[in-house]
Structure 1
Amino acid sequence: MSKTSFPPAAGYTLWQLVLYMLRLGALGFGGPVALAGYMHRDLVEQRRWITEADYKEGVALAQLAPGPMAAQLAIYLGYVHYRILGATLVGLAFVLPSFLMVVALGWAYVRFGGISWMQAVFYGVGAAVVGIIAISAKKLTEKSIGKDKLLWAIYLLLGAVTVATESEIAWLFIAAGILVWLLRAPPQWLRKPGLNSVAVTQLPWLASLAGGADAPVLMQIAVFFAKAGAFVFGSGLAIVPFLYSGVVTELHWLNERQFVDAVAVAMITPGPVVITVGFIGYLVQGFNGAVVAALATFLPCYLFTVIPAPYFKKYGRLPGVIAFVDGITAAAVGAITGSVIVIAKRSIVDIPTAAIALVTIGVLWKFKKLQEPIVIAVAAVIGLVLYPLMHA
């Protein structure tokens, strides 16, 4: 591919971005909210590789399309200056480190009959993650909402809905975008086929995933996790109930204890929370199961990002699109902020975990350059010490 086919890159090479995403995938804790916050801090604010407008487009597209938000945002940022090649390499770099980690943990889990120490680690890490996500949500709110009253109304509504339902309702994101578009800009661009035709072209392919109940196990894994990647919106918060109903209740691949351990693995490893699919796939069918589960989950999110991306780039500066993106971004950040409370209800279970979360918030607030992996490591040690004492 010739270099002239790329728009001018703002002072960075593709390999610099790939190396950044490898590092983020290897060291970025806290789930989609924190990961999106890190990308904004590092790529928009500090390095200025990505513009605020491009970042907001990425967040909006990640919320519009099904699949894990953080991975889609990373893929889109790779696409901004380096198109398909950039999106592909960045997506692989972002997911690969955490995939290798969960496969290693899956091997240890099977080899040694469970990971008893994981509960102790998660006791501390889960509480610290709440603090990390809270700080990330605060930064995203300040950057995306500002003092705009309409956006604040959308933000608060979506935050409340997320807390009440403990899920992310996809049509509300789209409704928020349409509302701001109708109030602030003419609707002429919607007459273009663009995104609607893209979505329609995917339907036959998605419908073909519906079968496969009597297929070999690897095929069943591919079908199930492709549906998880294709039909679940938002983040790990949204995909966990879908995974539970499938792998525990319907398919009986895992029992309750194994599924809880799988979610814990996702939380104590860096990178996207959705990478728990690799651990689940390993428990069901070994290394091949892990690879198939991960590929099947992330392929739809990759396609749902790179196929609409040209339309976002082509029409993204039109007033109607800007208004639509602003509405979806406000809804997305509101849902992300609401998810902080949802996750806190699961991770803060007593006074020590509440203290860990509050101290994490205070430390990150005061020491803005402190690296989150240091906080995670300290929280893990605290969990290993306190958990046995609290559950003696």
Structure 2
Amino acid sequence: MSHPTVPFRDALRFWLKLGLLSFGGPAGQIALMHRELVDNKRWISEQRFLHALNYCMLLPGPEAQQLATYLGWLMHRTRGGIVAGVLFVLPSLLILIALSWLYMVFGQLPLVAGAFAGIKAAVLAIVLQAAWRIGSRALKHPLLWGIAAAALLALAVFALPFPAIVLLAGISGWLGAKRWPQVFNGGKGHAASSTQDDNQALINDHTPPPPHASYSHGKLLRLALAGTLLWTLPMLSAVALAGSQHTLPQMGWFFTKAALLTFGGAYAVLPYVYQGAVTHFGWLTPGQMMDGLALGETTPGPLIMVVAFVAFVGGYGAPMFGAGSAALSGIIAASWVTWYTFLPSFLFILAGAPLVEHTRGKLGFTAPLTAITAAVVGVIINLALFFGQHLLWPHGLTAGIDWFAALLAAASLWALVKGGRGVIPVIAGCAGIGLLRALLA
């Protein structure tokens, strides 16, 4: 049987568009991919999308970027995965380099800050829409609602580490499937209309794994060797040229460790990055770190791209090539850190995706992942609450609500859910409103 294919040129255009417009952190980015790939283009079915998402949620690293890499690989082999993953990150890197340079040269930019204030309201609406869209499809039984609520409480009230939440959700799915297998079978049997829509997708529930998804020990060994060389050769070159105490080797090693600790999104690892970059190495000040986080939240791409800002500021403040090389040093440092932050993500996907594709329909594997999907809904809601608190009450709950942000976020949510507006017009409109407000202030 021939495997359905999406034209590579069409996929290339979509991944570039996604990289340019993937605002809203992982929840918003996953929602955008879901809307375009599952609902609009129907390139992939709901269950295939969620199966890939579940695997990405198990991994350290930015889950939305990994999901894009997985889906690109599924449609167009290794080159498709690399293109999708790179285009998810590259626009964000270039934008952050430019904004970091403006930040270092000109300081605070009121007009840019005004536009970002408007974008933040749109981001909150996108995250809330993501919780509703994914939750309405994934939570088909009260037990799954209970897992989502438990994950929300575990994060919001008890501050349980995200890896523990994933582990407990997986165990609950594995145990629950023994008693209620129909609940944890990936949603099969619920909502006939949804099943019909899935069957209309180009890659649907019945589409067999493509030929390139076959697993072999040889493929895995070759990939592991390639990954080792891609990590080691640049690092050894930098050490040989500048010594192990130089900024580049230190950044490469530090951010590799950060990438391997990024379970549950960037917020889970930001305290580690803050401690290392600010307290230990002194690459930037606490105030600069907070400004970088704001830039990372309001630019496309994964929030962990804040590491590019950290590296740029660190390189800019300690020029590597003498006087006058501050900007060049910042660009090299930002690119270097991005390489070491995202290399593990590509390796995890390209190595594990063939195994994951062949687990579809096997209850022993899908039941834990179905429970993890339910927990993910709670995680997204927690992210929405966290982001909403900082957006609507920027100076604390006792200082009163920011009514401008609240009204703009409500209007954005209405435009997305009831008005049928796309993400792009909503983001652009909010940015324009924020910019106009800054001009009139």
Normalising by structure 2, report the TM-score. Answer: 0.77
Aligned match of 1:338? 382
1:367 is matched with 419
Partner of 2:323: none
Task: In structure 1, give the amino acid aligned to 2:404.
Answer: P
Correspondence list, 1:53-68, <5 A = 53-68=47-62
| 1:97 correspondence with 2:91 | yes
Partners of 2:113 and 2:272 in 1: CA distance: 23
User: Greater shift after overlay, 129-138 or 14-23?
Assistant: 14-23
Identical-residue share of aligned pairs (%): 32
Deviations 1:341-367 (A, max 9, x none): 011111112222111221211221212
Equivalenced residues, count: 369
| 1:115-145 deviation per Cα after TM superposition (whole angstroms, max 9, x unaligned) | 3444333332222211111011110101111
Matches within 5 A, 1:1-392: 8-146=2-140, 148-164=141-157, 169-185=162-178, 215-285=245-315, 286-349=330-393, 350-368=402-420, 370-386=421-437
- CA offset at residue 69 of structure 1? 1.2
- Structure 1 residues 383 and 164, CA gap change in structure 2 (3 angstroms): farther
Q: Which residue of 2 aligns with 1:3?
A: none
Does the 8 A contact of 1:9 with 1:81 survive in 2? no
Distance in 2 (CA, whole Å) between partners of 1:17 and 1:130 is 27
Aligned-pair distance for 1:328? Answer: 1.1
Which has the larger Rg? 2
The structural deviation recorded for 1:384 is 3.4
8 Å CA contact 1:28, 1:373 repeated in 2: no
Q: CA deviation at 1:238?
A: 2.4
Gaps of 5+ in 1: 1-6, 188-193
User: Secondary structure of the equivalent of 2:381?
Assistant: helix
Matched-pair contact (CA < 8 Å) for 1:185–1:320 = no
* Structure with a larger share of its residues in helix: 1
Cα displacement (A) at 1:66: 0.3
AA at the equivalent of 2:128: A
What displacement does 1:168 show?
A: 5.4
CA distance in structure 1 between the partners assigned to 2:391 and 2:273 by the alignment: 19
Contact 1:37 1:139 in 2 (8 A): yes
TM (normalized to structure 1)? 0.86
Deviation at 1:114, TM superposition (A): 4.1
Query: Residue 340 of structure 1 aligns to which amino acid in structure 2?
Result: A
Residue 43 to residue 9, structure 1, CA distance change in 2 (3 Å): farther
SS at match of 2:166: helix
Which structure 2 segments of 5+ residues have no match?
182-215, 316-329, 394-401
Cα offsets for 1:268-309 (capped at 9, x unmatched): 212222222222221112111011111111111221222121
Quote the offset at 1:8 in angstroms: 4.8
In the alignment, the residues of structure 1 paired with residue 261 and residue 148 of structure 2 have an alpha-carbon distance, to the nearest angstrom, of 24
